[in-house]
Amino acid sequence: MYYLIRIAYDGSKFYGFQRLNKKISVQKVIEEALTIINKKKVVVKGAGRTDRGVHALDQCVSFKLDVSLTKEGLKKALNSLVEPYIYVKEVIEVDESFHARFNVVKKQYLYKINLGEYNPLLSDYVYQSKYKLDIEKMKEVAKLYIGVHDFTNFVSGERDNYDCIIYDINFDKKDDLLEIRFIGKSFYRYMVRNLVGMMIEVGRGKDNISKVKEMLENKKINPGYTAPASGLYLEKIEY
């Protein structure tokens, strides 16, 4: 049987999603739990590789099991093994050709910024700004990101292609919490954190919009600020 699961997790408790040899990762915990259920090794495919400290409200994972379980039975069995920092929200039966990453149509990331007084209870779950941010200037930066661009200066690591499409970026402020949502086809390593980082730099007055334009138009110039992982959430996956 082939399955897709939708999961949420607290990224502050893991060294990222991807399996690592001796470090605890989300993939490692899921695979170990599924191997117990399946009584045979299981390897999973994730919709995206969130980095250390990045959270997920809707990560998606596909895999094959040799045993046949009902969707509710598999959900209950998995949650008994992966809680408290991972939770399986939904189990879906899929066909053999389905792949959690390759079949993605759209991804949505959320970045949270605390604009108010520092709160130690939020330190792992938001970026706590030390600066007064001009949100209108940050919105101007966001407009530059929308569309198809070469995001070389906003991505960590080497790739064959840095082109990416961002469909929309939305801002929502509730009291002292600023939420920024990025909607696109795909996002590369550190990309959202680097995009937010330049918003913050412009918003606090350290850089200006011309620097952002230059970063989008010219390859390999000095990188900007990388926003902390704590504020980033993989919020939604669409197939």
Rg (CA), the chain: 19
Q: How far apart (Å, rounded) are the C-alpha atoms in residues 15 and 28?
A: 10
Q: How far apart (Å, rounded) are the C-alpha atoms in residues 147 and 125?
A: 29
Catalytic residue among 10, 51, 124, 150: 51
51 is catalytic: yes
Q: For residues 46-78, b (16+ Cβ closer than 10 Å) or e, as one string?
A: bbbbbbebbbbbbbbbbbebeeebeeeebbebb
Q: How far apart (Å, rounded) are the C-alpha atoms in residues 198 and 204?
A: 10
Q: Which two tokens stand for residue 96?
A: 């053999």
**Which residues are the active-site residues?**
51
